[in-house]
Amino acid sequence: MQRIAQRYLHDPIDSDLSDEKMVFLSGPRQVGKTTLALQLAGAPDQRHPAYLSWDDVRARPRIRRGEMPPGEARVILDEIHKYARWRGLVKGLYDTREPGQTFLVTGSARLDVYRRGGDSLHGRYHPYRLHPLLYVPPRRI
């Protein structure tokens, strides 16, 4: 089995999710947002019930109806920003969630646009931005 390194945001996000806040994880494509989210949810892969992607046409109706996976403490809503009314949907899901359940919302930099003070999600989430890994080869002596 391949071991994946723990990212620098793992512990702070884990702490915020433990406090039952939502976490918005944004960043450029292919930086590892989904991989980090799966690690934080304890999910081995994208087939896990806690993982719901807006890109999956089978998951979209369940998300819109608010059918969150029962018994999952951490639910991943991946690429939800692609839905035009995603903010109201996420607010409703968060406000009516099971006790102890929280959400890790992942997506592009568009999630950052909604950090305004008058936002309907204000006070319900912590924003994080994941940056690409930088490999620095060891120096030769």
Give Cβ neighbours of residue 126 (< 8 Å, ≥ 6 apart).
Answer: 13, 16, 21, 22, 23, 24
Domain assignment present for residue 38? The answer is yes
117 pLDDT tier (thresholds 50, 70, 90) = very low
Domain assignment present for residue 47? The answer is yes
39 with 6: CB under 8 angstroms? yes
Q: Looking up tokens 């991943």, which residue turns up?
A: 76
pLDDT in tens, 37-94: 999 998 888 999 999 999 999 999 999 999 999 999 999 999 998 998 888 899 999 9
Domain assignment present for residue 137? The answer is no
Give Cβ neighbours of residue 49 (< 8 Å, ≥ 6 apart).
Answer: 69, 72
The DSSP call for residue 83 is S
This prediction's pTM:
0.83
Domain assignment present for residue 2? The answer is no
Instruction: Give the range among 4-8, 19-23, 26-30, 71-75 with minimum mean pLDDT.
Output: 4-8
Domain assignment present for residue 63? The answer is yes
Q: What is the CATH number of the domain that holds 28?
A: 3.40.50.300
Q: Which domain holds residue 45?
A: 10-129
